[in-house]
Structure 1
Amino acid sequence: MDKTIMGSAKLDGSVVGIVSDGSADFASGTLERRGKKWIMQTGLASDLIVQLGNHSFRLHKLPMVSRSGYINRLVIERKGKEESKNSMPINLDNVPGGAKTFELVVRFCYGLKLDLTASNIAPLYCAAHFLEMSDDYHESNLILQTEAFLSFVMFSSWKDLFQVLKSCETISPWAKKLKILNRCSEAIACKACANHKAFDFSTCDAALFGIQGIRSTYSEVEVSLDQWWFEEVSLLRIDHFLEVVDACKRKGMKPDLIGESIAAWTKKWLSRVTLLDNLTAQKLTYQLQRVAIESLIRILPLEENSASCNFLLNLLKVGLLMDSDSDLVKRLERRIAFMLEKCSVPDLLVKNRIDSDTTYDVGVVVRVVQCYVSVVWINHPPKLFAVGRLVDGYLAFVAREERLTVRDFQSLAEALPKDARFCDDNLYRAIDMYIKAHPNITEAERMEICKAMDYHRLSKEAQEHALKNDQLPMDMMARFILMEQVNMMRSATNSRSDYRRTATQAILRTSSSSSHSWFSSQKEVRMMKKEVDAMQAQIRQLQQCRLKLRTQMRGAK
């Protein structure tokens, strides 16, 4: 029985293969389906029953055993064990693709018309291998036919590649064993890298010749053209997507483009799944989501700037929700921490779920800033003021969040050391905005928030504003007033010292001058003494005011 396979293209660009048969041994028969039973009508009595779960096929031995080595062995093993005219059922529960695919196998064995498509070629190819349908049993057998069509699809149709991968989801072990996933991934990577702008010659062809490649810079329009393949790839299942990413890495694709493809896939995936906590999520679903997140963290390119800070923060947030591996989470935190010095406030904006208390997740930012202080700031020469401005800007942005807790705000405000800020003006501005946006917080909570800033680190303008700010807690206001008085006392003391030095100099000048100028110098000394006495009187008044404020504060407590 001589079969040939012919390829053709539909109007939508997909490829269809038609298996034709030159023999008419059983080709005149018809395969009828009655519920979960398939009966081959050829005019000859059925002598073979194949059972797949609760599906059964009433067939004939000759066309089946002449093409399938596996069925041939099962029939021989059952020989002599027949209970009636018909043989005992042969169980094929493990055939890849199930009853739907086995129906195609039957049609092939009987020489009936068989349409090969991108949706059925992978299960049929795996079933042919499972059933041992090689040319050792019949010329141009099913393995050869499906291999030819599969290769044709790999190199012809971009759209059908993803249809093949989709059909592999139910037969993953066989698809991986027979390298269908690997072949599809390689084909996708080749097509994605075909655009020379997406190809990094410094890690591929140039490396073969020992040449140091020079990376080119591309405009935003050119970069967007490199992303033409993101949409289809973002629809793949996680294990298939990982195969594609590995293939792209082997092909030498630029790390930043790989990072962007991972971000696109993650965004699409998060829009399709529901992130549930441990108490409400089904155990299997929860574990699959956690494995997905951990896999994404592992495959991220290690090169700097291969992934944006905002994407990594979102990935960290989901990893924490999924209770991912602690080592992976810490590795991701450190990676983000090293990026903080070059970040802006929008990079830190990680949105919470719809049912969350706040719009943005402040806790994940606190973790990263604390990691920065413990890892980057201690071990590397950082741009600390840049991170200080970043954190204060972020605090000012989220300060108006109605449900932002005092604890979260305070934790982030105090996450950086004191010398991370050139001055505390921006921090004071964020604190002022938070207190005004949350009028119902207690006096003690206001005091806790204000502890993060230092009065002496405020500019003159900020100090004047703070002294008039009735939103600040009373204790803090009292402290600010006392500090201002201390400053005035120090200023007065310094002035008095200056006057004393001036008087001493005048006396020395008098002793060495002529007697004519002696009376004039005495008059100057008396005037300076009066000014010093007046200054001392002012200082005593300030000290009395301070005592009164202390008395009032004790009474308030």
Structure 2
Amino acid sequence: MIHDKTAMGRKSFDGETPLVGSGKHNRCVVLPANVPILADFFERRNQNWIARTNSASDLIIQVGDSCFHLHKIPVVSKSEYLNRLVFQRIRNSRENDGESLIIQIVDLPGGTKTFELVVKFCYGWKIDITATNVAPLYCAAHFLEMSEDLEQGNLISKTEAFLSFLMISSWKDSFRIFKSCESISTWAKELQIVKRCAEAVAWKASTNPKAFSFDCEYAAHWNFEASKRGKSELEGTGTGTANTWWFEDVSFLRIDHFIEVIQSIKTRGVKSALVGSCIANWTTKWFSQVRLGLDKVTPKHMTHQLHRVTTECLIRMLPTEEKSVSCNFLLYLLKAGVMLKINSELLNVLERRIASVLEQCHVSDLLVKNVGDNDPVYDVGVIIRLLQSYFSCMLSNPAAKSHAVGRLVDGLLAQVARDEKLTVKSFKSLVDALPQNARYCDDNLYRAIDMYLKAHPSLIEEERTTVCRVLEYHRLSQEARQHVMKNDRLPLKLTAQFVLQEQVNMTRSMISNGSNYRRTNAQTIIRISKHLEKGQVNAQEIKMIRKDVEMIKSQLKELHNCKVKLQKQLKIFG
């Protein structure tokens, strides 16, 4: 017969007096009173535990793969749960007298190792309770209903007292308790162990480390380690390493325990910038250990699911206050969210949040690194998605400063253009993501394009034409136009267009200034124009047109000087 514990009772022990331990704050020795049968010793044979006394055992309890050969009286005198099961079995048993009752316990918190301590407690043996076993033992005591109703000083009250003592007194042991709760998650949450531990950590994190005596040296150590790293992770938020000494330990918590700590931290009124930086620190710690979808330790689908749920949890618990989280970290979460296909509504909320602060961002804020060895250094896809969201929001926000975003994107283009792994398609998509009216002129765009061509010398003519197609003569300054006409990295077709346009402008300028200049190379220009329409042009023809343009410039300069001299003479004789 299998007996499974399905209901958990709750009882508050907030009023209990902390148990005095053995002299060390992280260890307690428990010796129960009123033991009806004392065991001389416990013998272990493979998976069998045998309690040796003057009388033969009459009860077998199976926990996992182990069997415990025990006696009814010491067990049922301390456990209401086992008392009830033994009574039911005796009443319904058809077995012959003298045979041991067999009871199987399923899903006991802590398993065999914890039940071994319970058995020793029942038989009057002293047991060592530490930060690593107190939570499982406390949950097992609740499972087995070892309350004061049966006996004064029963296991629930003793473990409760020591558990509370550790949470209040020891920073290190609070995290050991967190770790021990991972294997008994359901019970630990139901009995409020995780919540209470989180509240204790939050209280200490929001208080001067010297306010609790046991771990001052430990806290000072982490403060020193943080200061050795140089820049504070909260640069620009007005807080420093003195307030972040607790980040490192909290970053080792599992996501559900970390959420509990953050919620408790928030309720204590800790600054939102500090909370945001703590979340960013935890994320960097965990996500750097397991690349998205590339972990070799666990199955890929499990890793994907874990990261998806974790990312959604992180986004939900972000502080909402302005400047509480950096734009770069929000972009990192957006990148992870897109890759992991998180909840679309949550993803949209994150996009809108980043878009709302985009105008105040710097180029460094937009640099989100890729993780693949064959990928470009920075992810431009997430920026393209962000820009689409931003300019979509602009329709309802006419006050948006699109030109500030234009300068920002051009700066980003110049930064990523140097990356040899950045494809033409990705670079062109980022260029096109910014509407033309978001730029006052295209000089910065031209510089970024020129840097891309310089970093990718193996591009064919068609690819260079694709990259440069966005450039327009009238949107460049005179200085940029001059550079275009002398730039051998640009496609010949674009250079020819700029040279011809420059010649036309020069000719108009000279005619408007009264010159009798006539183009002597009209046939050549007509021929080149036809070649341009067909996509055919050669370097020799471009060179000839450039020479003609230089000659026109020289004549225009002379004409201008003559005009100035005539105006001066007219003033003298006037």
TM-score tier after normalising by the smaller chain length: 0.7 to 0.9
Q: How far apart, in 1, do the equivalents of 2:238 and 2:321 lie?
A: 23
Q: How far apart, in 1, do the equivalents of 2:295 and 2:192 lie?
A: 36
Is structure 2 residue 170 aligned with structure 1 residue 157? yes
The partner residue of 1:138 within 138, 151, 168 is: 151
1:276-329 Cα deviation digits (max 9, x unpaired): 179995333321221011111111111111111111111111222212111212
Secondary structure at 1:151's aligned position in 2?
Answer: helix
Pairing 1:151-550 to 2, within 5 Å after superposition: 151-195=164-208, 222-276=239-293, 281-376=299-394, 379-496=397-514, 531=515, 534-535=516-517, 537-538=518-519, 541=520, 544-550=523-529
| TM-aligned CA distance change 1:493 to 1:375, over 3 Å | farther
Q: How far apart, in 2, do the equivalents of 1:490 and 1:165 lie?
A: 80
Q: Are the aligned partners of 1:337 and 1:368 in contact in 2 as well (CA < 8 Å)? A: yes
Partner residue in 2 for 1:551 = 530
Q: Which structure: larger Rg?
A: 1
Q: How far apart, in 1, do the equivalents of 2:239 and 2:22 lie?
A: 34
| TM-aligned CA distance change 1:371 to 1:494, over 3 Å | farther
The partner residue of 2:99 within 86, 91, 110 is: 86
| TM-aligned CA distance change 1:475 to 1:83, over 3 Å | farther
Q: Supply the AA of the counterpart residue of 1:263.
A: A
Q: CA RMSD in A?
A: 2.4
User: Which segment is superposed worse, 327-336 or 49-58?
Assistant: 327-336
Q: Are the aligned partners of 1:447 and 1:473 in contact in 2 as well (CA < 8 Å)? A: yes
Q: How far apart, in 2, do the equivalents of 1:105 and 1:323 lie?
A: 46
1:41-82 Cα deviation digits (max 9, x unpaired): 122211110001211101111111011010011101111333
Q: Mind listing any 5+ residue stretches in structure 1 that lack a counterpart?
A: 197-216, 497-530
Partner residue in 1 for 2:60 = 49
The two structures have a TM-score, normalised by structure 1, of: 0.83
Q: Supply the AA of the counterpart residue of 1:7.
A: G
Secondary structure at 1:232's aligned position in 2?
Answer: helix
Q: Are the aligned partners of 1:51 and 1:90 in contact in 2 as well (CA < 8 Å)? A: yes
Identity of aligned residues (%): 52
Secondary structure at 1:148's aligned position in 2?
Answer: helix
Partner residue in 1 for 2:544 = none
Is structure 2 residue 30 aligned with structure 1 residue 16? no
- Quote how far apart the aligned CAs of 1:220 are: 7.6
Q: Supply the AA of the counterpart residue of 1:35.
A: N
Q: Supply the AA of the counterpart residue of 2:418.
A: R
Q: How far apart, in 1, do the equivalents of 2:465 and 2:387 lie?
A: 23
User: Which segment is superposed worse, 71-80 or 439-448?
Assistant: 439-448
Partner residue in 2 for 1:7 = 21
Secondary structure at 1:134's aligned position in 2?
Answer: coil
Task: Count residues with an aligned counterpart.
Answer: 492
- Quote how far apart the aligned CAs of 1:110 are: 1.1
| TM-aligned CA distance change 1:488 to 1:9, over 3 Å | farther
| TM-aligned CA distance change 1:234 to 1:555, over 3 Å | closer
Q: Supply the AA of the counterpart residue of 2:272.
A: P
Secondary structure at 2:31's aligned position in 1?
Answer: strand
Is structure 2 residue 94 aligned with structure 1 residue 114? no
Q: Are the aligned partners of 1:5 and 1:18 in contact in 2 as well (CA < 8 Å)? A: no
Q: Are the aligned partners of 2:39 and 2:51 in contact in 1 as well (CA < 8 Å)? A: no
Q: Are the aligned partners of 1:6 and 1:19 in contact in 2 as well (CA < 8 Å)? A: no
Q: Mind listing any 5+ residue stretches in structure 2 that lack a counterpart?
A: 1-17, 210-233, 538-574
1:505-550 Cα deviation digits (max 9, x unpaired): xxxxxxxxxxxxxxxxxxxxxxxxxx4xx14x24xx4754531211
| TM-aligned CA distance change 1:94 to 1:31, over 3 Å | same
Q: Supply the AA of the counterpart residue of 1:326.
A: S
Q: Supply the AA of the counterpart residue of 1:93.
A: V
1:215-256 Cα deviation digits (max 9, x unpaired): xx9988852211111111100001110111111111111111
Partner residue in 1 for 2:109 = 96
